[in-house]
Structure 1
């Protein structure tokens, strides 16, 4: 009976090792197929590129205005994570100026609604995903949030709590 028990333990241990090796291999292949995920956001210390954008109320905002600490966010109307960030911002507005870029335009009802809701806590401008403001920050995914100080990115994340504490 004890030989059978030892043999069973050995078989179970070999099975466990093979299963772990298979899981590791599947994860490696999955990463290769996906391509490693989106490009990382710009690192802290990266200068904000040159841009000029017109906010929804017709005022011009440029990169030269980003000297004092400013929260900058890029939002999309069809993004669940953007909605969570929006709700958090409205519930607890940041204690600093905020500039929000909404993907879309006034012809898009969802973009208009998102813009309107953010206007209570931020200056809001539209982005098409390839305009000077978008290229100045190089966001990857939605939302992309940046804390800017002295024209440099001080923090960047897709999570509001990692940018504003």
Structure 2
């Protein structure tokens, strides 16, 4: 009987120790969660934000069409990708599926592929079926500057406001939800 009592006391002590350690871990996780939440608020933005106007730019699509802020006359889906970016490759099929549902079709979708022309070719080929495509290098990126792109992939929705300025209408486009017909 004394052995059984000793075993029960030992198990009780171990459970108490486990409970104390678990409570300590939970407290630390809450502290880390608070720190991460505070950092998320201070994180740098990846592009211009909701309501901000798009800067001036002038370039040409891979098909030779002139493209500028002035040619963006309606609601337009705009995506920025780079061929060396893993998340860009993951987002590309979602972007293309979403683009297929855009009212106005290909004329209301713009994709910029930033990077080496040789590496960008497969991505450009895919995107041409659903979007007007622009290729740019990191050194010469007028669209990236106009949209203040700081991270890839970036997907925005833009449209002219009441004064005719092209502004960001959605800076967190949910590519998993198709657009609704107008």
TM-score (normalised: structure 2): 0.71
Gaps of 5+ in 2: 161-165
The structural deviation recorded for 1:163 is 9.0
Residues 1:94 and 2:105 aligned together: no
SS at match of 1:64: helix
Residues 1:134 and 2:149 aligned together: no
Q: Bigger shift: 84-93 or 70-79?
A: 84-93
Instruction: Measure, in 1, the Cα distance between the counterparts of 2:17 and 2:173.
Output: 46
Q: What is the match of residue 117 of structure 1? A: 126
Q: Deviations over 1:38-67 (max 9, x none)?
A: 534432111111111111112210011223
Residues 1:51 and 2:61 aligned together: no
Q: What is the match of residue 158 of structure 2? A: 148
How has the CA–CA distance of structure 1 residues 64 and 161 changed in structure 2, closer, same or farther, with 3 Å as cutoff?
farther
Cα RMSD between the aligned structures? 3.4
Gaps of 5+ in 1: none
Aligned residues: 162
Instruction: Measure, in 1, the Cα distance between the counterparts of 2:157 and 2:97.
Output: 19
Aligned residues of 1:155 and 1:163 also touching (Cα < 8 A):
no
TM-score (normalised: structure 1): 0.77
SS at match of 1:161: coil
Instruction: Measure, in 2, the Cα distance between the counterparts of 1:48 and 1:162.
Output: 24
Q: What is the match of residue 163 of structure 2? A: none
